[in-house]
Amino acid sequence: MGYATWLTSLRALLIDLDGVMYRGDVALPGASAVLPTLAELGIEYAFVTNNATLTPAQYQAKLGRMGVAADPERVVTSSIATAVYLGSISPDGGRVCIVGEEGLTRAIEEAGFVVADDDPTFVVVGLDRNLTYERLAAATRGIMNGAAFIATNADPAIPVENGLNPGAGAIVAAVTTATGVQPTVIGKPEPTLLLAALGRLGVPPEEAAIVGDQVQTDIRAGRAAGIATILIAGDLAGEIPGVAPDVVVRDLAELLAQLRAARRPAPSP
């Protein structure tokens, strides 16, 4: 299928947040026009993010400050996917030691688990911008005592206004180094987030695409989920032999222009 034909038949767009919609608290080109344009063109959307720090309602508020009126039900985070995973392997709940922020803690508590450092069944590690040595020590003790090690994601860095900051993967690497144990990773590049989002939208993979800023996570996840892939070119894009995006654009503004052109009604004869 040619690119123009593919854009014409697209029913849903899964949109990464960090590095696509914004960097830190600064909206990126095209961000404010995304939802009105997709609504005009009849394309469904969901935001899919590895960032586990905020709840969907908090992401709604953050996007709202940038002029983006998002539905929190359309925000699927690695926290939510991690909580779903825990529920699938431990339906009766359990004790969870968490290295992370409110978005992760709340998702796990709402799934019926007890957040506690002593005698945990699971240790879940995500991005924690208030990380302390004691949190690393608690996670290490839990894993060394037999708790299963789960990572919300393994992103090495996250884009912010003035460059890159350490991501969840940097914290996960510290715990892996301390314990010698490799985690089960939930977020992208695994397909879990994308498939959960498509399930909410009721759209099959072959009629959807993901737009992200990293080959390592977003494009690989799209490939794993069986959906088309669109890469925002930038400092985190990266390259992986044998893993190439279907489309590369400069930013969301360029992508929206291409969508409009592809779906513009043909002129009357």
Residue 206 lies inside a defined structural domain of this protein:
yes
Q: What is the pLDDT of residue 201?
A: 95
| Known catalytic membership, residue 18 | yes
Q: Cβ(112)–Cβ(96) under 8 Å?
A: no
Residue 269 lies inside a defined structural domain of this protein:
no
Q: Which residues pair with 123 in a beta bridge?
A: 97, 149
| Amino acid making up residue 189 | P
Mean pLDDT of the chain: 91
Same domain, 168 and 103: yes
Q: What is the pLDDT of residue 236?
A: 59
Backbone angles phi, psi at 211, to 5 degrees: -115, 120
Same domain, 98 and 115: yes
Q: Residue 101 half-sphere exposure, CB side, CA atoms within 13 Å? A: 17
Q: Residue 5 half-sphere exposure, CB side, CA atoms within 13 Å? A: 2
Q: What is the pLDDT of residue 69?
A: 95
- CA nearest neighbour of 18 among 136, 174, 187: 187
Mean pLDDT in residue range 214-231:
93
Ramachandran category for residue 254: left, alpha or beta (phi over 0 → left; psi -120 to 50 → alpha): alpha
Backbone angles phi, psi at 172, to 5 degrees: -60, -40
Residue 12 lies inside a defined structural domain of this protein:
yes
Same domain, 155 and 194: no
Q: Write down the pTM of the prediction.
A: 0.84
Same domain, 193 and 161: no
Residues contacting residue 47 through CB under 8 Å, at least 6 positions apart = 14, 15, 16, 17, 21, 59, 63, 70, 74, 75, 76
Residue 71 lies inside a defined structural domain of this protein:
no
Q: Tell me how far apart the terminal alpha carbons of the chain are, to the nearest angstrom.
A: 26
Residue 65 lies inside a defined structural domain of this protein:
no
Predicted confidence (pLDDT) per residue in 63-83, tens digit: 999 999 999 999 999 999 999
Same domain, 205 and 171: no
Q: What is the pLDDT of residue 68?
A: 96
Same domain, 213 and 180: no
Domain final residue, candidates 164, 185, 206: 185
Residue 19 lies inside a defined structural domain of this protein:
yes
Comparison of pLDDT for 2 and 53, the residue scoring more? 53
Same domain, 137 and 174: yes
Cα–Cα distance list, 103 to 3, 192, 213, 239 (Å)? 37, 18, 22, 30
Q: What is the pLDDT of residue 7?
A: 78
DSSP tally for the chain: helices H, then strands E: 10, 15
Same domain, 181 and 248: no
Q: What is the pLDDT of residue 243?
A: 77
Same domain, 180 and 199: no
What is the CATH number for 173?
Answer: 3.40.50.1000
Q: What Rg, from alpha-carbon coordinates, does the chain have? A: 19
Same domain, 179 and 244: no
Helix (H) or strand (E) run with residue 170 in it: helix 168-179
Domain count, the chain: 2
| Catalytic residue from among 16, 128, 155, 213 | 16
Mean pLDDT in residue range 85-108:
96
Predicted confidence (pLDDT) per residue in 156-181, tens digit: 888 788 888 999 999 999 999 999 99
Residue 56 lies inside a defined structural domain of this protein:
no
User: Which structural domain range is residue 117 located in?
Assistant: 91-185
Domain final residue, candidates 140, 161, 185: 185
| Known catalytic membership, residue 25 | no
Domain final residue, candidates 185, 217, 246: 185
∠ CA 123-128-133, rounded to 5°: 75
Q: Cβ(72)–Cβ(57) under 8 Å?
A: yes
Q: For residue 2, what pLDDT band results from cuts at 50, 70 and 90?
A: low
SS (H, E, C) 35-102: HHHHHHHCCEEEEEECCCCCCHHHHHHHHHCCCCCCCHHHEEEHHHHHHHHHHHHCCCCCEEEEECCH
Same domain, 192 and 243: yes
Count how many residues are written for the chain: 269
Residue 192 lies inside a defined structural domain of this protein:
yes
Same domain, 253 and 180: no
Highest mean pLDDT among 2-6, 147-151, 215-219: 147-151
